[in-house]
């Protein structure tokens, strides 16, 4: 099999890259280790920056998003029993849209199938070869048979645990990581969201977040231990803890309901540099992970593949040595934004979570930072412009 770009991974990064390349007349093949049913029902983040929405609109995959997505013009920060609103619209002129990652994936899979271009699910034994040459290849097994894709470029969009990043030479790759001493216990519940906007809560017992996926489905989180045993958290205990951490002096209460899903999310910051070597390019979680507090994971993936699609288009339309210019700058272009997003995600995480190593000084400092954030226009603007999305280039 021959194609121009072999894409490993059918998450938001790989699928969006395939769609953007298709619109530019560039051929691709998408490989995915999981089934279509699995990737379309895997619950992940759901806050989209305004630029992410614009990119999805430009890719022709935003019709359902624009109908069903929940537009938010701000968030609320809760501490010492009081809620404080940060008005994104007034501060930046932009907002965000709440629309689940699995819904984005469904839309992108449908768009890919509609193009008639190849997308292969449930493949295994994937390996990359010849990335230092002008003719790399990807080998994989599907249906008990061995296959090879000859291509010009390989896009590694296969996540943190995928094969793409480890396929880069170890003496080239530099890894930067911070593992946090806490995790999130998250639930998806059939309950009307108790707020029209997200609530980020700092409580003496730890962080909590009220989010939503629709007018009838709530998504909620509480800070917990990384090695927490989910069996010790029956639904009743989760709801009780959420009520405590999201309580206010004016008697705010959550609407409760059946818990549809629950799980533990570890917290880490991770960056791999550079994001390309030879003809292999990394995008999304294959290259970086952010703690979910800042709602940046999928947005970074979308930014990566937008930059990569532009660079590949420039290559195929260009002439002479200049046609590789944007591809050569791909890593540096993406990393400039990634490190700013890492800084923001770390800042919000450290401001809202309690750590076992914190003493009373740390607690007072944290509360002072929250007071400053919610009383200073300059601090609120910094938060808002990062939350709605930094410029792509």
Q: Could you state, in order of their start, the residue ranges of all structural domains in the chain?
A: 5-55+101-177+270-350, 182-267+355-370
Query: What is the distance between the alpha carbons of residues 304 and 140, in angstroms, rounded to a whole number?
Result: 25
- In this prediction the pTM is 0.95
5-55+101-177+270-350, superfamily in CATH?
FAD/NAD(P)-binding domain (3.50.50.60)
- By DSSP bridging, strand 28-31 and strand 119-120 are parallel
pLDDT digits (tens, 9 = 90+) for 335-355: 999 999 999 999 999 999 999
Looking at every residue in the chain, the average pLDDT score rounds to: 96
Q: How buried is 341 (Cβ within 10 angstroms: 0-12 exposed, 13-18 middle, 19+ buried)?
A: buried
Residue 50 is among the residues annotated as catalytic for this protein: no
Active-site residue flag, 22: no
**pLDDT greater than 90 at residue 318:** no
Active site residue: 12, 136, 291, 292, which one? 292
* pLDDT tens figures, 183-230: 999 999 999 999 999 999 999 999 999 999 889 999 999 999 999 999
CA distances from 286 to 52, 85, 181, 276 (A): 19, 34, 22, 11
The mean per-residue pLDDT over the stretch 43-53 comes to 91
Rounded mean pLDDT of 313-319? Answer: 91
Task: State yes or no: pLDDT of 241 exceeds 80.
Answer: yes
Q: What's residue 43's pLDDT? A: 78
Q: Residue 61 and residue 106: Cα distance in Å, rounded?
A: 10
Mean pLDDT of 126-130: 98
**Which residue of the set 180, 306, 330, 387 is catalytic?**
387
pLDDT at 303: 98
166: annotated active-site residue: no
Residue 4 gets which letter from DSSP? S
CATH topology of domain 182-267+355-370: D-Amino Acid Oxidase; Chain A, domain 2 (3.30.9)
From 12, 50, 72, 106, active-site residue: 72
Given pLDDT bands bounded at 50, 70 and 90, which one contains residue 321? confident
Burial of 350 (0-12, 13-18, 19+ CB in 10 A): middle
Residue 291 catalytic?
Answer: no
- Candidate list 22, 288, 296, 326, residue with the active-site label: 296
Is the predicted pLDDT of residue 370 greater than 70, yes or no?
A: yes
Tell me if residue 276 is catalytic.
no
Pairing of strands 74-79, 199-202: parallel
Inter-residue contact 112 to 19 (CB < 8 Å): yes
- On the 0-12 / 13-18 / 19+ scale of CB atoms within 10 A, 179 is exposed
Confidence of residue 165 (pLDDT cuts 50, 70, 90): very high
319 has pLDDT over 80: no
Between helix 297-317 and helix 12-23 the angle, nearest 10°, is 30
Express as a percent the part of the chain with pLDDT over 90: 94
Q: Quote the percentage of the chain above a pLDDT of 70.
A: 100
Active-site choice (140, 200, 306, 330): 200
Q: What number of other Cβ atoms are within 10 A of residue 239's Cβ?
A: 18
| Per-residue model confidence (pLDDT) at position 393 | 64
């Amino acid at each position: 099999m021959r194609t121009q770009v072999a894409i490993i991974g059918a998450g938001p990064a790989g699928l969006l890259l395939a769609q953007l390349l298709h619109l530019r007349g560039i051929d691709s093949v998408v490989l995915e280790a999981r089934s279509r049913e699995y990737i379309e029902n895997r619950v992940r983040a759901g806050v989209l920056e305004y630029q992410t929405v614009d990119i999805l609109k430009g890719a022709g995959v935003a019709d359902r998003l624009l109908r069903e997505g929940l537009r938010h013009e701000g968030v609320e920060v809760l501490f010492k029993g009081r809620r404080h609103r940060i008005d994104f619209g007034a501060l930046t002129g932009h907002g965000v849209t709440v629309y689940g990652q699995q819904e984005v994936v469904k839309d992108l899979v449908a768009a890919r199938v509609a193009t008639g271009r190849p997308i292969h699910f449930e493949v295994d034994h994937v390996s990359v070869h010849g990335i230092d040459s002008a003719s790399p290849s990807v080998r994989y097994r599907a249906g008990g048979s061995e296959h090879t894709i000859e291509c010009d470029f390989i896009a590694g969009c296969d996540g943190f645990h995928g094969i793409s990043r480890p396929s880069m030479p170890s003496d080239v790759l530099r890894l930067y990581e911070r593992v946090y001493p806490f995790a999130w216990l998250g639930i998806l519940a059939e309950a009307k969201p108790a707020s029209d906007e997200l609530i980020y809560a700092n409580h003496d017992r730890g962080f909590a977040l009220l989010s939503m996926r629709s007018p009838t489905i709530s998504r909620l989180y509480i800070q917990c231990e990384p090695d927490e045993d989910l069996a010790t958290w029956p639904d009743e205990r989760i709801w009780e803890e959420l009520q405590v951490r999201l309580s206010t002096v004016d008697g705010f209460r959550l609407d409760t309901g059946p818990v549809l899903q629950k799980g533990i999310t570890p917290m880490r910051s991770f960056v791999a540099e550079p994001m390309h070597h030879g003809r292999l390019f990394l995008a999304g979680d294959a290259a970086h992970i952010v703690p979910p507090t800042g709602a940046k994971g999928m947005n970074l993936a979308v930014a990566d593949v937008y930059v990569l699609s532009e660079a590949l288009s420039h290559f195929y339309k260009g002439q002479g040595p200049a046609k590789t210019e944007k591809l050569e700058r791909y890593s540096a272009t993406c990393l400039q934004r990634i490190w700013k997003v890492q800084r923001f995600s770390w800042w919000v995480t450290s401001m809202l979570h309690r750590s076992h190593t914190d003493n009373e000084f740390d607690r007072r400092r944290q509360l002072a930072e929250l007071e400053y954030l919610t009383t200073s226009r300059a601090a609120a603007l910094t938060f808002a412009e990062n939350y709605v999305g930094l410029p792509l280039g």
